[in-house]
Each structure stands twice: as C-alpha cells, then as structure tokens.
Amino acid sequence: MQKGNIGVSTENIFPIIKKYLYSDHEIFLRELISNAVDASQKLKTLASVGEFKGELGDMTIRVSLDEKKKTITISDRGVGMTAEEIEKYINQLAFSGANEFLEKYKKDAHAIIGHFGLGFYSSFMVSKKVDIITRSFREDAQAVKWSCDGNTEYTIEEIKKEDRGTDIVLHIDDENQSFVDKNEISRLLKKYCRFLPVEIAFGKETEWKDGKEVETDKDNVVNEVNPLWTQKPADLKDEDYKNFYRELYPMAEDPLFNIHLNVDYPFNLTGVLYFPKIKNNIEIQKNKIQLYCNQVYVTDSVEGIVPEFLTLLHGVLDSPDIPLNVSRSYLQSDSNVKKISSHITKKVADRLEEIFKSDRKTFEEKWDDLKLFIEYGMLTDEKFYDRAAKFALLKNTEGKCFTFEEYKDIIKTNQTDKDDNLVYLYSTNKDDQFTFIEAAKNKGYDVLLMDGHFDSHFINHLEQKFEKGRFVRVDSDVVEKLVPKEEQNELKLTPEQRENLTTVFSSQIPQVGKTHFLVTFEALGENDTPVMITQQEFMRRMKEM
Ligand code: ADP
Ligand code: MG
C-alpha cells in the first residue's frame, strides 16, 4: 500500500466544502453519477472508433444502498482508471474545481450558487470516507483501490477486480444519515438523473405476490435515456409532445403549443418549450423550465438565462454552453448567454408566426390563453415586440380578431379625431360598460375588448408605438366628439337645460358635476341612450396611476 498527499494549494478544502455547500449536499449523487455516465460514454466512443475491441455488454450504472454499513455505492462499467490516472485526475486535477470555488468565494460570497462543479470531491460533503475501486478497460490493467477519509491524505493499493469499470463507495458520515434511505435516494435519482443517457438502476423492480411486495430480477431503471428533446422533431407527433408534457407536469392541463429547439451553431442548445394553459389567467407560475447540461439536471431557476417573459413557459432546455458554475449576475453579462437568450426569443416568435400563418383559426381560438404571454413579451422585450407585431391580435367586443394592420383599416374611415389620430375605442368590462358599447356601435364605431391581465399597460405601450393612434375608453367623453358634425342630431339641449339636468343628476349621483365627471346629453335618437355619465380619458388614467 502506498500513501500520498492530495495536491492542493489550500491547506484544507474539505471543511470549506462542508460548510459552504451545506444546502446543496444532495448534488453529490448527481456529480458521481455524471462521472459514471461520462466514463461509460467514453468507452462507447472508444469502441466506436475501434480503440476498444472487447464486448461492451451491459453498461447499466448501478446505485446501491447498504443500510447496515451505511454506504452508498455507484458502479459503472466504463473506462475505469489506472493508478496513474487516479494520480492525475483525482489526486491532482480534481481540485481545480475546488480551487476555482475558493477563488470565487473569496471575492463574493453571494455569487456562489449551489451548482459549483466540485465533481468527484462533492462526495466528501456527505462522507467520512470514500473508496474508489477501479479497473481500467485496457487489457491486463491492474485494479486499484484508493481511499481517503476527508483529509488531504489518501492510500492506494493494488486489488483484485474482475470487471472493468469503477465503484465509488461512500461511507456516509453521521450528519448525513438521511441519505441512507431508499426513498431519499429514489427522490434524488428522479430529480437529477431522470433523463441521463445511460441506464441507471437502483435495486430491482418489485411486484405484489400473495399480499407481499417482492423483488423481481428485473433492474429498476430510473431514467429515460432518449428523452423527447434529444429526438428529431420529424420523428415526433403532437401526441408525443403532449405525453412528455404530462410526464413533466402531471397536474397541469394540456399545453397550448410547443416549440422544439435545436441549435448547434454558434452554440449548442436543444430543448422543448411549452406555452402552458394558465388557469383563471392569474395563476402564473414562473420557473417551471428545467435546465439540463447534457441531460444532467441542473436547475429549474432559469432567470437570467431566458428572457424574463419566457420564464412563464414550461419545458426543458439543455445546453453545455451555459456556464453553470458561476453567479447569476455573471450569467446575465455573459455574451454566450445573451446570444442564447435572444435566440430563444427569436425561435419562439418564429414558431408563433408560423402557427398564425398556417392555422389562423387555431391561433385565434387559443388567443385568450396566449395573449398573456405575447403581451407580456411585447411589453418587456423590444425585439419580441417587433416580431410579434405581425401576429398579435386585437379582439373586439364581438369576439372578432384582427392584427394591428387589419384593425387600422377597420377604423380609419370613421374613427378619427380632429387631429387625424386614429381613435381606438376599448372597453375594460363588457358588462359594466354595456350601454356605452352599444351607443358606440350604433354610431358605427368598433370597440375593442381590453380586459386582460396586462391590458392597461399594453394600451399605454401601444399608444407609444402606434403613430397617430390613441386609445379611448368607450365610456369617456371623447366618444361623443367623434361624431361627424353633419350626423349630429339637431335636437340639442340649451346650456340652461344642460345645467338644470346636471343639477338633478348630481343630487342623486354625487360624482356627477365633480371635476372628473361630465354629463352628456345625447340627442334622443331612436337607438340612443338618453343620458350618459362619462369621465374624461385622461382623468380616468390619472386615477388609475
Ligand atoms: P470532471 O467530471 O468535471 O472532469 P470530476 O471531479 O467529477 O471532474 O472528476 C475528475 C476526473 O476523475 C474525471 O475527469 C475522470 O477522469 C475521473 N473519474 C471520475 N469518476 C470516474 C469514473 N467513474 N470512471 C472513470 N473516471 C472517473
Ligand atoms: Mg464530474
């Protein structure tokens, strides 16, 4: 047996690992299994180029739990390591991640996010001792066992091991006994390893026999090796996307649309995003997108990676090009991340435009649900506004939908004011403003329904965007002034009659006659309402502000 010291510049990394990564202890399993996956894939690659001539055989990675010995073991049949490789990759290099961590920690403690790439050494967050039992795939390789008890000292010895590959044995320490539990391991596997590309088995499948749960000899495989987003869109049906969605969000209603992302230049990104159906238009849940790195789960907090409005979407993004071991503020300034973010925005807009063009009927049917995302996107993302202006819809009180351009044509003949502005009449509540809507319609005007979550902001935004266009709520005084002169009924009240009536009404309805309310007496046409109480648009908006 040989002894040695781990090559580390800092006096002792382990206490720091334990202390500062406390909340994320559970990632040890993800790190060790990712290593096992890497080792397995390396061997497959070697086999495919002819450098490994043996049988690949069963490549399943096995996780096992020994509740008596309080150990967790991760076994793979990948490339394995020789003693020299352990020296190089574990004793020396493995600390590069840890050193980087220390560097960061010194500068800015807040900047540390839990997903720091500590790799193999994250096993010491939960273990008092770790063994690596490994044998390289190379012919006649000597198997070795490396042991370390969480100090910078380790031992290494030659052992007997028939099969190639690596077993990592974790001797779980006293503080982390909660991991020595079948359900807990199952939970972690489901969270982090669900879509890893190599089969991972945890124990055996069970079945019920004579009222008892008994183990079968079938491996209990916990992951799906070819998740939907890694497959070719051409091979997938609408139903496949829906099924995958149901798998990810079992409680949710079926989504409205999906977008399959597949980019390999200038960065690598795959994924499937869904427009969810939002219940009651209010229960908006952010951060439902799961972020993966080569099928390894990283986080479901994608803020700073995708544009703000897309955090309302659901689905999966997978990119090895998103730097994950850095702080959020760094992420936001990273040029790659910016590129990725604007690419996703473009893809989302393209897809919506495509649906709009190819199936406008469906698009209109789903508009009420889609509207929230699109308006929010248009409000918060200039580029998205420009793209979406082609397919965003305005819906009138009769339920008809128009694009911005189409709607202009509808109102340009008779809905202009004296300054030649197009006047967009809108209602915020079809029931409350019923009489006003009817009155406007009787004059040949069209009234939009703007009763959505973001509509009041959206109206302000559109007014800035539309040249010579202004929005007027259907119950404001201006509606009256839109009437062309010649059409106005002769039967007008004299100023005196007006004054008298105002007094009568204001005695009953206190708001009338106060600064921001006016009483307008309509000509008593056949279809007209005799009296309307209105409020000036600007006064109303002031009050809302
Ligand atoms: P990283 O995975 O980022 O390289 P790790 O600290 O996780 O960093 O692992 C360090 C190195 O140890 C790996 O690059 C690999 O060479 C080696 N290694 C770790 N686990 C295994 C394994 N199960 N089989 C073969 N080699 C491994
Ligand atoms: Mg690793």
Question: Which ipTM was obtained for this model?
Answer: 0.99
Please name the residues in contact with 423: beta carbons below 8 A apart, sequence gap of 6 or more. 411, 415, 416, 417, 469, 470, 471, 472, 478, 482
Q: Is position 1 annotated in a ligand binding site?
A: no
Q: Which ligand 1 atom minimizes the distance to the CA of 76?
A: 23
Q: How far is Cα 216 from Cα 235, in angstroms, rounded to an integer?
A: 34
Helix (H, G, I), strand (E, B) or coil at 140: coil
Q: How far is Cα 273 from Cα 255, in angstroms, rounded to an integer?
A: 10
Give the type of residue at 66.
D
Q: Is position 81 annotated in a ligand binding site?
A: yes
Ligand 1 pocket mutation, candidates 89, 138, 145, 200, criterion most atoms within 8 A of CB: 89
270 lines ligand 1 (CB under 6 A): no
Q: List beta partners, residue 207.
A: 214
Q: How confident is the model at residue 108 (pLDDT cuts 50, 70, 90)?
A: very low
Give the type of residue at 280.
N
Q: Which ligand is nearest to the CA of 74?
A: 1
Q: How far is Cα 378 from Cα 385, in angstroms, rounded to an integer?
A: 4
> Does 541 score more than 90 pLDDT?
no
Helix (H, G, I), strand (E, B) or coil at 181: coil
43 lines ligand 1 (CB under 6 A): no
Between the CA of 115 and the centroid of ligand 2 the distance, in Å, is 12
Q: How confident is the model at residue 25 (pLDDT cuts 50, 70, 90)?
A: confident
Tell me what percent of the residues of the chain surpass a pLDDT of 70. 79
Q: What is the pLDDT of residue 490?
A: 45
238-274 pLDDT per residue, tens: 999 999 999 999 888 899 999 999 988 888 899 999 9
Q: Which ligand 1 atom minimizes the distance to the CA of 35?
A: 20
What's the DSSP call for residue 87?
I
Specify burial of residue 209 (Cβ count, 10 A radius: 0-12, 13-18, 19+): exposed
Helix (H, G, I), strand (E, B) or coil at 260: strand
Q: How confident is the model at residue 516 (pLDDT cuts 50, 70, 90)?
A: very low
Helix (H, G, I), strand (E, B) or coil at 512: coil
Q: What number of other Cβ atoms are within 10 A of residue 256's Cβ? A: 19
Q: How far is Cα 397 from Cα 436, in angstroms, rounded to an integer?
A: 12
Q: How confident is the model at residue 109 (pLDDT cuts 50, 70, 90)?
A: very low
222 lines ligand 1 (CB under 6 A): no
Contact 131, 147 (CB under 8 A): yes
> Does 105 score more than 70 pLDDT?
no
Q: What number of other Cβ atoms are within 10 A of residue 174's Cβ? A: 7
Between the CA of 25 and the centroid of ligand 1 the distance, in Å, is 19
Between the CA of 139 and the centroid of ligand 1 the distance, in Å, is 20
- Nearest alpha carbon, ligand 1 atom 17: 89
Mean of the per-residue pLDDT values of the chain: 84
In the numeric block, which tokens belong to residue 36?
A: 């096992």
Q: Which ligand 1 atom minimizes the distance to the CA of 117?
A: 3
Find the farthest-apart pair of alpha carbons in the chain and give their distance in angstroms, rounded.
112
Work out the average pLDDT over 165-188. 97
Contact 222, 185 (CB under 8 A): no
Q: How far is Cα 531 from Cα 382, in angstroms, rounded to an integer?
A: 43
Helix (H, G, I), strand (E, B) or coil at 493: coil
In the numeric block, which tokens belong to residue 94?
A: 């493995």
Residues 308-318 as b/e (b if ≥16 CB within 10 A, e otherwise) read: ebbbbbbbbbb
Q: Which ligand is nearest to the CA of 97?
A: 1
Please name the residues in contact with 66: beta carbons below 8 A apart, sequence gap of 6 or more. 72, 73
36 lines ligand 1 (CB under 6 A): yes
6 lines ligand 1 (CB under 6 A): no
Q: What is the pLDDT of residue 414?
A: 84
Q: What is the pLDDT of residue 100?
A: 60
Which residue from 149, 113, 156 is spatially nearest to 24, judged by alpha carbons? 113
Q: Which ligand 1 atom minimizes the distance to the CA of 36?
A: 23
Between the CA of 121 and the centroid of ligand 2 the distance, in Å, is 9
Residues 24-37 as b/e (b if ≥16 CB within 10 A, e otherwise) read: bbbbbbbbbbbbbb
- Nearest alpha carbon, ligand 1 atom 20: 35
Q: Half-sphere exposure (CA, 13 Å, Cβ side) for 398? A: 8
Residue 266: asked if its preceding bond is cis (omega within 30°), the reply is yes
Which residue from 140, 131, 119, 136 is spatially nearest to 43, judged by alpha carbons? 136
> Does 150 score more than 60 pLDDT?
yes
Between the CA of 138 and the centroid of ligand 1 the distance, in Å, is 17
Higher pLDDT, 485 or 83: 83
In the numeric block, which tokens belong to residue 74?
A: 């991760």
Q: What is the pLDDT of residue 306?
A: 82
Work out the average pLDDT over 504-523. 60
81 lines ligand 1 (CB under 6 A): yes
Contact 275, 318 (CB under 8 A): no
Between the CA of 6 and the centroid of ligand 2 the distance, in Å, is 18
Q: Which ligand 1 atom minimizes the distance to the CA of 74?
A: 23
Which residue from 262, 265, 286, 260 is spatially nearest to 336, judged by alpha carbons? 265
Q: What is the pLDDT of residue 331?
A: 65
Between the CA of 307 and the centroid of ligand 2 the distance, in Å, is 29
Tell me what percent of the residues of the chain surpass a pLDDT of 90. 53
Ligand 1 pocket mutation, candidates 8, 38, 122, criterion most atoms within 8 A of CB: 38
Q: How confident is the model at residue 523 (pLDDT cuts 50, 70, 90)?
A: very low
Higher pLDDT, 500 or 539: 500
Q: Is position 76 annotated in a ligand binding site?
A: yes
39 lines ligand 1 (CB under 6 A): yes
- Nearest alpha carbon, ligand 1 atom 8: 119
> Does 92 score more than 80 pLDDT?
no
37 lines ligand 1 (CB under 6 A): no
Angle between helices 367-380 and 335-358 (to 10 degrees): 140
> Does 22 score more than 60 pLDDT?
no
79 lines ligand 1 (CB under 6 A): yes
Between the CA of 37 and the centroid of ligand 2 the distance, in Å, is 9
Q: Is 489 left (phi over 0), alpha (psi -120 to 50) or beta?
A: beta
Give the type of residue at 159.
I
Between the CA of 427 and the centroid of ligand 2 the distance, in Å, is 58
90 lines ligand 1 (CB under 6 A): yes
408-461 pLDDT per residue, tens: 999 988 888 878 889 999 999 999 999 999 988 988 899 999 998 889 999 999
- Nearest alpha carbon, ligand 1 atom 25: 80
In the numeric block, which tokens belong to residue 164?
A: 């190639």
Contact 444, 414 (CB under 8 A): yes
Q: Is position 226 annotated in a ligand binding site?
A: no
Prediction pTM value: 0.79
Between the CA of 32 and the centroid of ligand 2 the distance, in Å, is 7
Strand spans (E) along 113-152:
127-135, 144-148
> Does 479 score more than 80 pLDDT?
no
